[in-house]
């Protein structure tokens, strides 16, 4: 695979299968956003359709804003955009520490007029793009076996510095799940970019140590970890409430579920069920069959991203799409792990389902990047 194609590839229509999968998951996300959030919306907003209406508006606006990128963005544009987005993400991460809104014991959000933005989500996308750019621009030096050839400088120090700058700012937000995802994505991008395995092992250990240190110095994080480790001993009406109620919802769904709109746990038991714990409502209403179908849909979406990347001749674009696919897979797996109490409750949202307008907009924009790349991919349909 060459970094720059010798001849410009012929432009095609965006990948039809990816579009179909994306449309299907958005329809499912909108339906479950309404079902999971209708009780909460009625109580706090006086409108049972509040979250559904919000989902549809953000989805349509995001799609409309993303469409020009899909149709007209070039590989050179994405290279320039990578630098711009990374700088913007750093500035927003600094800003959130200064004037951000506190919620759930952590400062992670910026209120910009009618919008609430979580800069760490933007930083994930920015890192994928910029690391793809760096790893391809210095590909020869990263792969060099000569002493002083630049393998360490350009394969470790440069990309490591870029992602550590983001990690430090995210750690200051006490955002453990964000730190975990950013670290895992960065290590993957460096692996795909050719960084030597022994260097990656050291970096992975550093990220893990930073996460442990963050837990040790944060009483907020310690409560989450203690609740996870001793769920049977923790006050079921206190810190264990959301986790236990989510598990009750999953267990009560059985094989076929209670039926769409049939959840009982969303009636004030699972707190804000339209957010991070929406998968528990999916399990309760649609059962094992429905939950498995949703996960299968995510699997197909990730597979299609990987397939498009494998057929892309431009290495920068290929690495970018691989990174987006890995981010989607990680977000999904970690959300399921949290709601099933397989890991501490760290506030990981379920892509395309959890409530959050800007969160949804970022995911649609990422799929727009993949669709843009698919127009030059040899395997698009």
At 192-202, the pLDDT tens digits run: 998 888 888 88
**Joined tokens for residue 144:** 């060099």
> Do 154 and 138 touch, CB atoms closer than 8 A?
yes
Does one domain contain both 32 and 133? no
* CA pair distance 324, 369, nearest whole angstrom: 9
Q: Which residues pair with 107 in a beta bridge?
A: 102
Burial (CB count within 10 angstroms: exposed 0-12, middle 13-18, buried 19+), residue 191: middle
Q: Does residue 108 sit in helix, strand or coil?
A: strand
Q: With a threshold of 0.85, does the pTM exceed it? A: yes
Separation between Cα atoms, residue 345 and residue 348, nearest integer Å: 8
**Token pair for 90:** 């750093």
- On whether residue 5 sits in a domain, the answer given is no
Domain count, the chain: 2
Q: Which residues of 337-361 are buried (b: 16+ CB within 10 A; e: fewer)?
A: ebbebebbbbbbbbbbbbbbbbbbb
Same structural domain, 375 and 253: yes
Q: Is 79 inside any structural domain?
A: no
In a domain, 3, yes or no: no
CB 245 within 8 A of CB 270: yes
Range of the domain at 116: 85-217
Residue numbers in the chain where pLDDT is lower than 50: 1-2, 4-6
Report the first-to-last Cα separation within the chain, whole angstroms.
Answer: 21
Task: Tell me if 1 is assigned to some domain.
Answer: no
Residue 174 lies in a domain: yes
Token pair in block for residue 216: 């040790």
Cα–Cα distance for residue pair 121/39, rounded to 1 Å: 28
Determine the pLDDT at residue 148: 65
Spatial separation of the C-alpha atoms in residues 46 and 40, rounded to whole Å: 9
Helix (H) or strand (E) holding 115: strand 115-117
Q: Is the same domain home to 101 and 15?
A: no
Q: Are residues 270 and 344 in the same domain?
A: yes
Distance, in Å, from the CA atom of 303 to the CA atom of 15, rounded to the nearest integer, reads 13
Structure tokens at 280: 């528990």
Amino acid 5: pLDDT = 47
Question: Same structural domain for residues 68 and 152?
Answer: no
Q: Are residues 251 and 319 in the same domain?
A: yes
Half-sphere exposure of 263 (CA within 13 A, CB side): 36
Provide the pLDDT for residue 102: 67
Do residues 79 and 316 lie in contact, with contact meaning Cβ atoms separated by under 8 Å?
yes
Residue 302 falls inside a structural domain:
yes
26 and 95 together in one domain: no
Quick check: is 95 in a domain? yes
Burial class for 381, CB neighbours closer than 10 Å (0-12, 13-18, 19+): middle
Looking at residue 346, its pLDDT comes to: 79
Residue 77, both tokens: 């544009």
Same domain for 183 and 244, yes or no, is: no
139 within 8 A of 129, measured Cβ to Cβ: no
- Nearest CA to 361 out of 13, 54, 81 is that of 54
The set of residues, in sequence order, having a beta carbon less than 8 Å from that of 102 and lying 6+ positions away, is none
Provide the 8-state DSSP code for 344.
-
Q: What are 101's two structure tokens?
A: 């809104």
Rounded to 5 degrees, φ, ψ at 342 are -85, -10
Whether 77 is covered by a domain: the verdict is: no
Residue 321 host element (H or E): helix 315-339
Domain C-terminal end among 193, 217, 241: 217
Q: Are residues 114 and 92 in the same domain?
A: yes
What DSSP line would sit under 234-255, residue for residue?
A: S-TTTTTHHHHHHHHHHHHTTT
Whether 108 and 22 share a structural domain: no
Query: Which domain-ending residue is among 164, 187, 217?
Result: 217
Closest CA to 155 of 200, 203, 195, 206: 195
The last residue of a domain, from among 166, 182, 217: 217
Structure tokens at 41: 């919306």
Same domain, 51 and 89: no
CA torsion sign for 14, 17, 23, 29 is negative
User: Are residues 67 and 103 located together in one domain of the fold?
Assistant: no
């Amino acid at each position: 695979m060459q970094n720059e194609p010798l001849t410009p590839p012929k432009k095609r229509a965006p990948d039809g299968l990816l579009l179909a999968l994306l449309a299907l998951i958005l329809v499912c996300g909108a339906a479950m956003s309404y079902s999971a959030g209708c009780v909460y919306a009625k109580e706090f907003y006086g409108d049972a359709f509040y979250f559904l209406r919000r989902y549809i508006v953000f989805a349509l606006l995001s799609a409309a804003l993303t469409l020009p990128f899909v149709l007209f963005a070039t590989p050179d544009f994405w290279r320039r955009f990578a630098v711009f987005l990374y700088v913007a993400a750093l500035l927003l991460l600094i800003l959130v520490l200064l004037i951000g809104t506190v919620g759930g014991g952590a400062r992670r959000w910026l209120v910009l007029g009618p919008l609430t933005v979580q800069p760490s989500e933007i930083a994930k996308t920015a890192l994928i793009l910029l690391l793809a750019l760096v790893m391809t621009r210095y590909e020869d030096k990263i792969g060099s076996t000569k002493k002083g050839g630049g393998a360490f400088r350009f394969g470790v120090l440069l990309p490591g510095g870029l992602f550590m700058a983001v990690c430090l700012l995210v750690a200051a937000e006490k955002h453990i799940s964000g730190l975990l995802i950013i670290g895992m994505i960065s290590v993957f991008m460096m692996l795909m970019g050719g960084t030597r395995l022994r260097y990656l092992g050291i970096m992975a250990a550093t990220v893990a140590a930073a996460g442990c240190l963050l837990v040790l110095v944060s009483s907020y994080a310690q409560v989450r970890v203690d609740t996870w480790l001793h769920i049977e001993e923790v006050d079921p009406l206190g810190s264990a409430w959301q986790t236990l109620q989510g598990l009750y919802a999953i267990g009560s769904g059985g094989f076929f579920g209670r039926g769409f709109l049939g959840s009982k746990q969303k009636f004030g038991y699972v707190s804000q069920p339209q957010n991070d714990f929406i998968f528990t409502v999916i399990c309760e209403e649609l059962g094992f069959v429905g939950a498995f179908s949703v996960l299968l849909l995510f699997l197909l979406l990730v597979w299609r991203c990987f397939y498009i990347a494998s057929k892309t001749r431009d290495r920068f674009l290929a690495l970018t799409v691989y990174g987006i696919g890995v981010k989607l897979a990680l977000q999904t797996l970690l959300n399921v792990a949290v709601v099933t109490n397989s890991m501490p409750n760290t506030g990981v949202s379920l892509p395309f389902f959890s409530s959050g307008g800007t969160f949804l907009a970022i995911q649609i924009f990422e799929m727009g990047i993949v669709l843009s790349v698919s127009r030059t991919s040899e395997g698009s349909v």
